[in-house]
Amino acid sequence: MDDSPTAKIRNRFERVVISIDEAIARRQPEVNKELGSKPVKVHLVVVTKSQPVEIVRAAIDAGATILGENYAEEAVEKIAALPDCQVEWHMIGHVQSRKAGLVAKNFSMLHSMDNIKLAGKLNRACEENDRTLAVLVEINVSGEENKFGIPAWDEDNWHYLLPIFEQFMAFPRLTLHGLMTMPPFFEDPELVRPYFQRLRRLREYLQGHFPKVDLSDLSMGTSSDYLIAVEEGATYVRVGQAILGPRPV
Protein backbone atom coordinates (compact mmCIF):
# COMPACT_ATOMS: atom_id res chain seq x y z
CA MET A 1 0.00 0.00 0.00
CA ASP A 2 1.20 3.49 -0.84
CA ASP A 3 1.38 5.34 2.46
CA SER A 4 3.19 8.43 1.19
CA PRO A 5 1.83 11.76 2.48
CA THR A 6 0.34 12.41 -0.96
CA ALA A 7 -1.54 9.09 -0.99
CA LYS A 8 -2.83 9.70 2.54
CA ILE A 9 -4.08 13.14 1.60
CA ARG A 10 -5.79 11.77 -1.50
CA ASN A 11 -7.45 9.07 0.59
CA ARG A 12 -8.69 11.42 3.26
CA PHE A 13 -9.87 13.96 0.68
CA GLU A 14 -11.94 11.29 -1.07
CA ARG A 15 -13.41 10.10 2.23
CA VAL A 16 -14.40 13.65 3.21
CA VAL A 17 -16.07 14.22 -0.17
CA ILE A 18 -18.10 11.02 0.20
CA SER A 19 -19.05 11.81 3.79
CA ILE A 20 -20.32 15.25 2.70
CA ASP A 21 -22.63 13.64 0.16
CA GLU A 22 -23.90 11.26 2.84
CA ALA A 23 -24.56 14.18 5.19
CA ILE A 24 -26.50 16.02 2.46
CA ALA A 25 -28.71 12.94 2.19
CA ARG A 26 -29.40 13.09 5.94
CA ARG A 27 -30.70 16.69 5.82
CA GLN A 28 -34.10 17.24 7.40
CA PRO A 29 -36.91 18.42 5.09
CA GLU A 30 -36.92 21.94 6.59
CA VAL A 31 -33.27 22.40 5.63
CA ASN A 32 -33.94 21.32 2.06
CA LYS A 33 -37.12 23.38 1.82
CA GLU A 34 -35.12 26.59 2.12
CA LEU A 35 -32.90 25.54 -0.73
CA GLY A 36 -35.97 25.24 -2.94
CA SER A 37 -35.37 23.92 -6.40
CA LYS A 38 -31.72 24.95 -6.45
CA PRO A 39 -29.24 22.10 -6.75
CA VAL A 40 -27.63 21.32 -3.43
CA LYS A 41 -23.93 22.01 -3.59
CA VAL A 42 -21.48 21.98 -0.72
CA HIS A 43 -18.14 23.54 -1.56
CA LEU A 44 -15.20 21.96 0.20
CA VAL A 45 -12.59 24.53 1.22
CA VAL A 46 -9.36 22.71 2.07
CA VAL A 47 -7.71 24.79 4.77
CA THR A 48 -3.97 24.95 4.08
CA LYS A 49 -2.93 27.52 6.71
CA SER A 50 0.47 26.71 8.26
CA GLN A 51 1.01 23.89 5.77
CA PRO A 52 4.06 23.94 3.47
CA VAL A 53 3.79 24.23 -0.30
CA GLU A 54 4.39 20.45 -0.84
CA ILE A 55 1.31 19.65 1.21
CA VAL A 56 -0.73 22.29 -0.62
CA ARG A 57 0.36 20.72 -3.89
CA ALA A 58 -0.67 17.27 -2.65
CA ALA A 59 -4.10 18.67 -1.76
CA ILE A 60 -4.48 20.09 -5.27
CA ASP A 61 -3.36 16.77 -6.80
CA ALA A 62 -5.95 15.01 -4.65
CA GLY A 63 -8.68 17.15 -6.21
CA ALA A 64 -8.97 20.26 -4.02
CA THR A 65 -10.31 23.20 -6.03
CA ILE A 66 -10.72 25.75 -3.21
CA LEU A 67 -7.97 26.46 -0.70
CA GLY A 68 -8.51 28.41 2.53
CA GLU A 69 -5.86 30.51 4.21
CA ASN A 70 -5.90 32.63 7.38
CA TYR A 71 -2.94 34.94 6.92
CA ALA A 72 -2.69 37.13 3.83
CA GLU A 73 1.12 37.23 3.62
CA GLU A 74 1.49 33.48 4.07
CA ALA A 75 -1.10 32.88 1.38
CA VAL A 76 0.51 35.30 -1.07
CA GLU A 77 3.79 33.37 -0.81
CA LYS A 78 2.03 30.10 -1.57
CA ILE A 79 0.05 31.61 -4.44
CA ALA A 80 3.33 32.81 -5.95
CA ALA A 81 4.90 29.36 -5.47
CA LEU A 82 2.02 27.62 -7.27
CA PRO A 83 1.57 29.85 -10.31
CA ASP A 84 -0.10 27.43 -12.72
CA CYS A 85 -2.59 25.84 -10.32
CA GLN A 86 -6.24 26.22 -11.26
CA VAL A 87 -7.57 26.76 -7.74
CA GLU A 88 -9.55 29.43 -5.94
CA TRP A 89 -7.97 30.96 -2.85
CA HIS A 90 -10.37 31.95 -0.08
CA MET A 91 -9.44 34.12 2.92
CA ILE A 92 -11.08 32.61 6.00
CA GLY A 93 -9.20 34.36 8.84
CA HIS A 94 -9.66 37.73 10.49
CA VAL A 95 -8.40 40.54 8.22
CA GLN A 96 -6.92 43.77 9.56
CA SER A 97 -7.96 46.77 7.50
CA ARG A 98 -4.40 47.46 6.41
CA LYS A 99 -4.34 44.03 4.71
CA ALA A 100 -7.38 44.84 2.57
CA GLY A 101 -5.20 45.45 -0.51
CA LEU A 102 -3.58 42.01 -0.27
CA VAL A 103 -6.97 40.36 0.07
CA ALA A 104 -8.49 42.28 -2.85
CA LYS A 105 -5.56 41.35 -5.10
CA ASN A 106 -5.17 37.68 -4.29
CA PHE A 107 -8.40 36.04 -3.18
CA SER A 108 -11.65 34.98 -4.86
CA MET A 109 -13.70 35.11 -1.69
CA LEU A 110 -13.47 36.53 1.82
CA HIS A 111 -15.36 34.46 4.42
CA SER A 112 -14.63 36.73 7.36
CA MET A 113 -15.79 40.28 6.74
CA ASP A 114 -16.77 41.64 10.13
CA ASN A 115 -16.72 45.43 10.15
CA ILE A 116 -17.60 48.45 8.04
CA LYS A 117 -14.12 49.93 8.10
CA LEU A 118 -12.70 46.76 6.54
CA ALA A 119 -15.53 46.71 4.00
CA GLY A 120 -14.72 50.29 2.97
CA LYS A 121 -11.03 49.50 2.53
CA LEU A 122 -11.81 46.34 0.56
CA ASN A 123 -14.21 48.24 -1.68
CA ARG A 124 -11.56 50.85 -2.45
CA ALA A 125 -8.88 48.20 -3.06
CA CYS A 126 -11.24 46.40 -5.44
CA GLU A 127 -11.82 49.66 -7.33
CA GLU A 128 -8.08 50.10 -7.71
CA ASN A 129 -7.79 46.54 -9.04
CA ASP A 130 -10.90 46.88 -11.19
CA ARG A 131 -12.61 43.82 -9.75
CA THR A 132 -15.36 42.72 -7.40
CA LEU A 133 -14.87 40.49 -4.36
CA ALA A 134 -17.28 37.84 -3.10
CA VAL A 135 -17.75 38.19 0.65
CA LEU A 136 -19.44 36.43 3.55
CA VAL A 137 -20.12 38.24 6.82
CA GLU A 138 -18.63 36.54 9.88
CA ILE A 139 -21.16 36.15 12.68
CA ASN A 140 -20.57 35.42 16.36
CA VAL A 141 -23.49 33.14 17.20
CA SER A 142 -22.25 32.05 20.64
CA GLY A 143 -21.34 35.18 22.58
CA GLU A 144 -17.81 33.91 23.22
CA GLU A 145 -15.68 36.98 23.75
CA ASN A 146 -12.60 35.64 22.01
CA LYS A 147 -14.50 35.17 18.74
CA PHE A 148 -14.49 37.56 15.82
CA GLY A 149 -17.69 38.36 13.97
CA ILE A 150 -20.75 40.54 14.24
CA PRO A 151 -22.50 39.75 17.55
CA ALA A 152 -25.78 37.92 16.84
CA TRP A 153 -26.35 35.39 19.62
CA ASP A 154 -29.41 37.27 20.92
CA GLU A 155 -32.14 36.46 18.41
CA ASP A 156 -34.49 39.07 19.92
CA ASN A 157 -32.08 41.78 18.81
CA TRP A 158 -31.50 40.77 15.23
CA HIS A 159 -33.21 43.93 13.98
CA TYR A 160 -30.07 45.80 15.04
CA LEU A 161 -28.24 43.91 12.32
CA LEU A 162 -30.39 45.24 9.48
CA PRO A 163 -28.71 48.67 9.16
CA ILE A 164 -25.28 47.01 9.38
CA PHE A 165 -26.14 44.69 6.50
CA GLU A 166 -27.58 47.60 4.54
CA GLN A 167 -24.21 49.29 4.82
CA PHE A 168 -22.34 46.16 3.73
CA MET A 169 -24.65 45.86 0.74
CA ALA A 170 -24.06 49.43 -0.33
CA PHE A 171 -20.43 48.80 -1.36
CA PRO A 172 -20.59 48.33 -5.13
CA ARG A 173 -17.43 46.25 -5.40
CA LEU A 174 -18.35 43.76 -2.67
CA THR A 175 -20.81 40.99 -3.54
CA LEU A 176 -22.46 39.69 -0.41
CA HIS A 177 -23.15 35.94 -0.67
CA GLY A 178 -24.13 35.00 2.87
CA LEU A 179 -22.79 34.26 6.33
CA MET A 180 -19.92 32.47 8.03
CA THR A 181 -19.36 31.37 11.61
CA MET A 182 -16.78 29.75 13.83
CA PRO A 183 -18.79 28.18 16.69
CA PRO A 184 -17.42 27.14 20.09
CA PHE A 185 -15.39 23.93 20.13
CA PHE A 186 -16.90 20.86 21.80
CA GLU A 187 -15.48 17.32 21.95
CA ASP A 188 -18.97 16.18 20.95
CA PRO A 189 -19.86 17.84 17.62
CA GLU A 190 -23.58 17.32 18.32
CA LEU A 191 -23.32 20.20 20.81
CA VAL A 192 -22.39 22.57 17.97
CA ARG A 193 -25.62 21.87 16.08
CA PRO A 194 -27.70 24.65 17.78
CA TYR A 195 -25.13 27.27 16.69
CA PHE A 196 -25.28 26.13 13.08
CA GLN A 197 -29.07 26.20 13.29
CA ARG A 198 -28.91 29.75 14.61
CA LEU A 199 -26.76 30.84 11.66
CA ARG A 200 -29.26 29.22 9.31
CA ARG A 201 -32.16 31.03 10.97
CA LEU A 202 -30.27 34.32 10.74
CA ARG A 203 -29.68 33.72 7.04
CA GLU A 204 -33.41 33.21 6.55
CA TYR A 205 -34.20 36.31 8.58
CA LEU A 206 -31.85 38.49 6.55
CA GLN A 207 -32.96 36.97 3.25
CA GLY A 208 -36.54 37.85 4.20
CA HIS A 209 -35.53 41.48 4.75
CA PHE A 210 -33.31 41.72 1.69
CA PRO A 211 -35.08 39.65 -0.97
CA LYS A 212 -33.16 41.26 -3.84
CA VAL A 213 -29.76 40.10 -2.57
CA ASP A 214 -28.88 36.43 -2.93
CA LEU A 215 -27.70 35.44 0.54
CA SER A 216 -27.64 31.69 -0.14
CA ASP A 217 -24.31 30.76 1.32
CA LEU A 218 -23.51 29.47 4.78
CA SER A 219 -19.83 28.81 5.52
CA MET A 220 -19.77 26.66 8.64
CA GLY A 221 -18.06 23.51 9.85
CA THR A 222 -14.41 22.50 10.31
CA SER A 223 -12.69 19.10 10.67
CA SER A 224 -14.43 18.37 13.96
CA ASP A 225 -17.99 19.27 12.98
CA TYR A 226 -18.36 19.63 9.19
CA LEU A 227 -20.84 16.74 8.93
CA ILE A 228 -23.20 18.41 11.41
CA ALA A 229 -22.74 21.68 9.51
CA VAL A 230 -23.69 20.04 6.21
CA GLU A 231 -26.76 18.48 7.80
CA GLU A 232 -27.73 21.97 8.97
CA GLY A 233 -27.40 23.55 5.54
CA ALA A 234 -23.75 24.55 5.06
CA THR A 235 -22.85 25.42 1.47
CA TYR A 236 -19.16 25.84 2.32
CA VAL A 237 -17.24 23.71 4.82
CA ARG A 238 -13.68 24.60 5.82
CA VAL A 239 -11.71 21.43 6.48
CA GLY A 240 -7.98 21.35 7.23
CA GLN A 241 -6.60 18.66 9.53
CA ALA A 242 -9.10 15.94 8.61
CA ILE A 243 -7.62 16.01 5.09
CA LEU A 244 -4.05 17.26 5.49
CA GLY A 245 -3.20 15.84 8.91
CA PRO A 246 -2.03 17.90 11.88
CA ARG A 247 -0.63 21.35 11.19
CA PRO A 248 3.13 21.69 11.70
CA VAL A 249 3.92 23.67 14.87
The verdict on 90 binding ligand PLP (CB under 6 A) reads: no
Select from 8, 71, 223, 245 the one that contacts ligand PLP (CB under 6 A). Answer: 223
The verdict on 93 binding ligand PLP (CB under 6 A) reads: yes
The verdict on 241 binding ligand PLP (CB under 6 A) reads: yes
For residues 1 and 249, which CB has a smaller minimum distance to ligand PLP in the complex? 249
The verdict on 222 binding ligand PLP (CB under 6 A) reads: yes
For residues 173 and 221, which CB has a smaller minimum distance to ligand PLP in the complex? 221
For residues 138 and 173, which CB has a smaller minimum distance to ligand PLP in the complex? 138
Taking each helix axis as running N to C, give the angle between helix 5-25 and helix 53-62, from 0 to 180 degrees, rounded to the nearest 10: 50
* CB of residue 242 to ligand PLP, shortest distance in Å: 6
Select from 59, 67, 91, 239 the one that contacts ligand PLP (CB under 6 A). Answer: 239
The verdict on 182 binding ligand PLP (CB under 6 A) reads: yes
- The size of the interface with ligand PLP (CB under 6 A), counted in residues, is 13
Select from 42, 92, 136, 150 the one that contacts ligand PLP (CB under 6 A). Answer: 92
Q: Which of residues 33-62 bind ligand PLP (CB under 6 A)?
A: 47, 49
Q: Give me the residues that bind ligand PLP (CB under 6 A), please.
A: 47, 49, 70, 92-93, 182, 222-223, 238-242
